[in-house]
Amino acid sequence: MTLRLDWCSYDAAKYACQHWHYSKCMPAGKLVRIGVWEQQQFIGAVVFGSGANRNIGMPYKLKQHQVCELVRVALRRHTNQVSRILAIAMRLIRKQFPGLRVIISYADPEQGHHGGIYQACNWVYVGKSKPQQAVVVGNEVMHKRSASALFGTIKGLQRSQALWKHTYAFPLDVEAKQILAQFVRPYPKRARSTDSGAPDDQLGGGGANPTRALITTQTPEV
């Protein structure tokens, strides 16, 4: 199956996040957007950003600009493996930003995610993130930054218990690999059989709210 990844517009990435990602929203902040095409059809986007944590590089004694976060993998139904798509996206961002040294991403155990896709790509598991309080929207538990991006405010929303996530890191150079070696923990096991291990919306059951991936014939301007 023909696969192509390239830089895409904000609108194209936003369309993918709103239609094929469980959060239904585009993250805020500075973003790097990579579009994904199969058979010349736009099937989604991989989005990297600075993340909500301004001290994301502190545990590894790295400056903020040396670390980024994988914030979205928003894909419609696809043929290529997510691990292959993600590997190509990381090569692109590594080439574009030579000063970047580590990529961080998270897997939410509250939704049955253990990070299988990161394990398949040989990411380093560095343990649990610091617990953060979420909010309740209907019957859904949603992180505050996602709710704020979706609704513009979290005022008046019910607060949930503090939640943590599995944290994974990928080194982009030899020295970064040595730094991360100090934080290596055993990979967590799959929580349940329906866990895709993907960070976001994948075929039939990924993301914080496992739902069948949407299929559309519409293609946004890229």
Domains of the chain in sequence order: 1-129+165-212 (3.40.630.30), 130-163 (no CATH)
Q: What percent of the chain has pLDDT over 70?
A: 70
CA distances to 58, 163, 177, 180 from 115, rounded to whole Å, are 22, 16, 19, 17
For range 132-147, the mean pLDDT: 66
Q: Average model confidence (pLDDT) for the chain? A: 79
Rounded to two decimals, the pTM is 0.75
Q: Which of 54-63, 94-103, 155-164 has the highest mean pLDDT?
A: 94-103
In the three-class reduction of DSSP (H, G, I as helix; E, B as strand; rest coil), residue 4 is classed as: strand
What type of residue is 50? Answer: S
